[in-house]
Amino acid sequence: MSTCGASMEPIGSFQRPNEEQVIVHRCLGCGFERFNRIAADDDFDLVLSLPELPPRTNREMKAQRLEEEIGDEFDIYQID
């Protein structure tokens, strides 16, 4: 669930410079995107079936690094 209450759909994944694979979920209501690192209990077949997305911008990656510092999921702000 996102902040607006609509459901989040996995739309694709991309690989970060450190070769970590990230899943992108997008809110069906407002377009808000959330990035999650693939965890050990994620369905890897599903991840591989998702389209490959271009890596996100530096600003987005910065937010992602912040997530790692927190050590938990962190919602970043949508660009534009």
Strands 8-15 and 21-27, sheet pairing: antiparallel
30 or 79, CB closer to Zn ion? 30
> ∠ at Cα 69 (63, 73), nearest 5°?
65
Query: What Å distances lie between residue 69 and 24, 36, 64, CA to CA?
Result: 19, 14, 9
Binding residues vs Zn ion (CB under 5 A): 2, 4, 6, 27, 29-30, 32
30 or 48, CB closer to Zn ion? 30
Q: Minimum CB separation from Zn ion for residue 25, in Å? A: 11
6 or 38, CB closer to Zn ion? 6
